[in-house]
A = this chain, B = another copy of it.
């Protein structure tokens, strides 16, 4: 049932470090039942290398928001590829997409496009520093803003100087935020906030309004940039920047993952005050001007607006959450479901060693449901109520046989 996966892993172990790198590695991170290799994707479904079918709740760790292989988005990207994908400059489409973001996102007056979310968070830091000519960027303890050395405290191979200008505060903790800002007063270039606290392995936390406002106040007082990392949450909480619902506008925002429904594109959006600074940073990449992902992004943004995607994924996520809650209670396995329902995180009570979570998710896989035992998950508008019901039938079987 996982024979081909096993054979591929054994080949992969010879030519890929540790068998697989990064967040898509199943080695050490996930139970052995998790397939490492996939062969087909359609709508909200995945088929692994052995042909096993799953209703997917990871959406490729976020990018898929409108369905794998969405025909409308694929057609837009293909039509662009027929004309031009890369060249010595971009097509008109780059202007269309920048205008689209400026119309859609309240704080945005300009855009830079890149490839990955981490490109976007890095550029935000550079623009913030270029404007203020200050150095310190506050980041939340344990927050993930990418795997580049500055953002990456879990990797070997990064000297301490990579982190010296990134002091930390605790998310939603005004006292720690104030103390961190105070400690670098006069040298504060920016404060990076995630849309909400979505650190892997932890309960998720929505931002307190008072915290969000305090971040804005400090930035205003210090002439520092409020940098919203909307890479993971963007377009699922809101079609505007995620903090706009609180009336708190960032100066700079970083987007990635879902904006092209899986075509590789990221965006840096900024307000008028940071426009001039953005012209003074030199940021680029060979493939940052690739046209097909721009076409995919425009089509994705249109489609998500037409269906009011944040409302759809919230409703689907709530349906899934309610079902899991009921099953967990019925079978006597208390769980904590945290954060916005469209980006569910499910952790079992009294499960510090993740044994229950691993057993439950392993059983769910056997019943055709791909969950993640410790990372937040993602809903898409390609999921339907019927898909959620079918997934809940699978999770019920997983709960039923769960011990401990």
With contact pairs A129-B157, A129-B159 given, residues A147 and B284 touching in the complex (Cβ less than 8 Å): yes
Copies of this chain present in the complex amount to: 2
A223 located at the interface, meaning its Cβ lies under 8 Å from any Cβ of chain B in the complex: no
Give the Cβ gap from A279 to chain B, nearest Cβ, in Å: 4
Give the Cβ gap from A101 to chain B, nearest Cβ, in Å: 8
Q: Do A17 and B115 have beta carbons less than 8 Å apart? A: no
Give the Cβ gap from A218 to chain B, nearest Cβ, in Å: 20
B contact residues around A386 at 8 Å (CB): none
Q: Do A116 and B286 have beta carbons less than 8 Å apart? A: yes
B contact residues around A12 at 8 Å (CB): 94-95, 98
Q: Do A40 and B84 have beta carbons less than 8 Å apart? A: yes
Give the Cβ gap from A22 to chain B, nearest Cβ, in Å: 3
Q: Do A86 and B64 have beta carbons less than 8 Å apart? A: yes
With contact pairs A38-B84, A118-B285, A158-B129 given, residues A92 and B16 touching in the complex (Cβ less than 8 Å): no
Q: Do B157 and A281 have beta carbons less than 8 Å apart? A: yes
Give the Cβ gap from A263 to chain B, nearest Cβ, in Å: 8
Q: Do A286 and B98 have beta carbons less than 8 Å apart? A: no
B contact residues around A288 at 8 Å (CB): 22, 116
Map CB proximity to B onto A34-50 as digits: 1 under 8 Å, 0 otherwise.
01111111000010010
Q: Do B157 and A41 have beta carbons less than 8 Å apart? A: no
With contact pairs A37-B89, A157-B277, A278-B17 given, residues A115 and B23 touching in the complex (Cβ less than 8 Å): no
Q: Do A129 and B116 have beta carbons less than 8 Å apart? A: no
Q: Do A68 and B87 have beta carbons less than 8 Å apart? A: yes
Q: How large is the interface on A (under 10, 10 to 19, 20 to 34, 35 or more residues)?
A: 35 or more
Nearest B residue (CB) for A260: B287
| Interface members, chain A 264-292 (any B CB < 8 Å) | 264, 270, 275, 277-290
Q: Do B95 and A8 have beta carbons less than 8 Å apart? A: yes
Q: Do A161 and B164 have beta carbons less than 8 Å apart? A: yes
B contact residues around A46 at 8 Å (CB): 87-88
A156 located at the interface, meaning its Cβ lies under 8 Å from any Cβ of chain B in the complex: yes
| Interface members, chain A 111-130 (any B CB < 8 Å) | 111-112, 115-119, 122, 125-130
In angstroms, Cα B112 to Cα A24, docked, is 12
- Contact check: which of B21, B84, B278 meets A112 at CB < 8 Å? B21
Q: Do A279 and B17 have beta carbons less than 8 Å apart? A: yes
B contact residues around A115 at 8 Å (CB): 115-116, 264, 285, 287
- Contact check: which of B88, B111, B157 meets A125 at CB < 8 Å? B157
B contact residues around A154 at 8 Å (CB): 282
B contact residues around A302 at 8 Å (CB): none
A202 located at the interface, meaning its Cβ lies under 8 Å from any Cβ of chain B in the complex: no
B contact residues around A286 at 8 Å (CB): 60-63, 116-117, 231, 256-257, 264
Give the Cβ gap from A255 to chain B, nearest Cβ, in Å: 11
Nearest B residue (CB) for A19: B279
B contact residues around A127 at 8 Å (CB): 157
In angstroms, Cα B10 to Cα A84, docked, is 22
A91 located at the interface, meaning its Cβ lies under 8 Å from any Cβ of chain B in the complex: yes
Nearest B residue (CB) for A114: B116
Query: Can you spell out 13 A-B residue pairs with CB atoms less than 8 angstroms apart?
Result: A8-B95, A15-B110, A24-B89, A37-B89, A37-B95, A46-B87, A61-B88, A116-B288, A117-B285, A126-B155, A129-B157, A147-B284, A155-B281
Closest CB pairs A-B (n = 3)? A22-B284, A126-B157, A17-B278
Given A15-B99, A68-B84, A129-B157, 11 new contacts (CB under 8 A):
A20-B90, A22-B284, A22-B288, A24-B89, A35-B89, A38-B89, A69-B84, A86-B262, A116-B285, A122-B149, A147-B283
